[in-house]
Structure 1
Amino acid sequence: MAVSWLHRLAGLTPVPVFPALGMGGDVVLRRLAQATNIELVGSPRHASVLLVAGGVQPDLLEALRRVHDQLPWPSSSLWFRCEPLPELEDATRIDDIEALPGALAAIHRELLLQRRGSSPRLLPDNPPNPWEGLGDDGHGGEGMMGGVPYGRPMAMNMHDDIRDGLTLDSLTFRIGPFFPAFPPGMSAEVTVQGDLVQSWTTQSLPHLVALDPVFHDARQRSVPIARLELARVRYHLHRLFHGLRLAGWESAALHVLHLAMRLTSDSRADALRRRLERYGFFYLAALDGGVLEVEQARRVGGPASRAAGLDDDLRSEDANYQRLGFSPVFHNAGDTRARWQQILAEIEQSLQLAKQAAREDLHTQNSVAIETPRGPWSDERCPTDASRLLDEIIPGLEWDSALATIASLDIAALSDWPLVEDKPLTRSEERSS
């Protein structure tokens, strides 16, 4: 009786969900972050439901199986707009994003009330590397150190610390492609000494980033500048939402998300700037570092390039943007802090442009080349993957600075297909289109 009562009580708490994001799956984060009955957790070991959202490439399925098997008992999975693994015959699949929170809560409740069995383990319960009986003492190591007991590499003092020359234990591991702090799909092999990144090698590239359909339309025909700029603001707000969640500021992240949902040509970012300054976001120590040299910034493009002092922005070449008095805003430091300051400045600028363009009913004049929030897009130039750049700039950073640097960089290549967001147009967008 007591156990049954506890199960029922636990069923009323938020559902701990670990999201494994495939192609186009990041849209679910913004939907679930607003659901009061869902708790998005940072590790599969803290979840009762694994949410697989979007298509997962075949070469990432083995990594997905490893994530699945890390969930504690009892646990289950939900597959959003993708097919479950063949081993999970009874897994639930769903396509309706509005029904997603309820479906996750139902699975969690059924698990606790023992109306649903726990998902089976998909991988054999064996260490990934042989170790028993190896080494001088049979513990898999060399002497008293080294080796991979239970498949986990032991820390070894193999490198001089690149920060101060001390010889510290180093640990090499692979992280991703479902690590929430990384762009979905990206993985890397990392060597750390304490909290310092000694080396970084990108292993798999992030999924392509999809843009609002208005940017695809703008390559074909004239579109309302107000609509284009509001889509640009929304894109930047979604990136800022991720950065604030990474910093642990859930309330500020939700404020950003609500602003993105309610955008009109009359929206303002004053309250957002005041909130970020009051919280001290731009003074976080983790924002130190991650400096891009000019050529590195040019490879990334977009706000990252302008944060490094480049005034490259194709909107300057459009006659109606010139009529609005547009000129690129930019910073010179080129570090993580400058990139977030650049994004906020461009949000404010785009809102001003949208308001003025809506009042004057201005449309774009140049459809040959447009400036997307990811960078310039024309027949000659298109945002390509820049994740290999991390191999150059991450070594030497502390772990929190490394994650902040990655969050501030938009490094995925541009998709040929537009974003499917499952949201209605705002009234302002309906009028402008």
Structure 2
Amino acid sequence: MLIGMKQVVQVRLLPTPEQASALLVTLRACNAAASWLAGRMHAAGEFRKFDVQKRFYTELRERFGLAAQPAIRVIGKTTDAYTALRGNLTAGNYGPPGSTRRRKVVDTPIVFRPDAAQPFDARCLSWQLGDSGREGTVSVWSTAGRLRNVRIMGHPGHLALLRSGQIRETDLICRDGVWVLHAVVDRPGAPQREPVNGFLGIDMGIVNLATTSDGDRMSGARLNRYRRRQQRLRKRLQAKKTSSARRLLKKRRRKENRFAADVNHQISKRIVAEAERTGRGIAVEQLTGIRDRVRLRKPQRATLSSWAFAQLGRFLAYKAEQAGLAFVQVDPAYTSQRCSDCGVIDKKNRRSQASYVCGRCGFVGHADHNAARNIATRGVAGWGEVMRPHAAPTLAAGQGGSSKPVGTPGT
């Protein structure tokens, strides 16, 4: 079975000074229009795209000089922003009902930065990529008219993907004076293979970024040392309060995120290659709400907040899909307390961060390895439920030797 998938491709835009000036004016006009529309939507209490388009489309075009399709994209961008805001409110990400922070978010209309990304579709932006190479051109709408033959440059593999797939929405972004395009491409996935040899369980953490059910541990010591060093450098530069210090801080911005993303890419490639080699699927724990489940001391909170838990999960998901591997997420509750040999659940079994000793069967092992084995077991059960969608879910946190209710976090 072939499963289609979407992939985001980044390419560099190389406009002339005149083209860059027109693009900047366009970006600011679109974001000014989006901020104005967000205020009107908030005041009117209308957030459905159809209703907003019917009520504000004409005025939006006349006020900001937008063409028809860019105006539609501005409306879509603004309604999507309010949809995301409502989702965050429902999830409690802005505090409980009645809290000061939540009231402020609800009472204030959304405002877009002047240089925020602007989405374009095929009517606003078209590609001329040729047959091969690292370069090409695009034609893009602007408030000054159509800009043709704007040069682009990218990785040969990324441009080959743009040539072979169907290009959907493209975001125009200006970041620190550098113009880039983020294009969403529809591409066929690899034929999905059945996990004939079960699942490779992955336990994620801070000390060990990832531990597999085979016992392979990817240590986080190097990344944590790098982050501590970056934190010391930032603190030192912030204390100086000089122009040169501010320039250095701006230059170093996002450097730590790029380093962490590179580490996550290396780890995810290694895990997917092992699962592909052994004919297994990949099972990971659900990371939604991990900051609410885990209780940490104050010095550890910054580490938890800065580590990209979800990013590693996303990298594993799309790389598994590219390779045609089964990928499931399982309930993480009790995975670090449950014995992977006999199934008993007891928080006393986890003697320390690294040590797990079962008080019933005597199993001794690394705590993260034990949790990964439990995740692998739940992956098999979870895949069975995915392949039988008509059946009632039976996967429970206490499966395999306990009837304790789900709810208490084990990781």
Q: Given the two structures, how large is their TM-score scaled by the length of structure 2?
A: 0.24
More helix by share: 2
Normalised by the length of structure 1, the TM-score is 0.23
Decide which structure has the larger Cα Rg and report it: 2
Q: Which has a greater percent of strand? A: 2
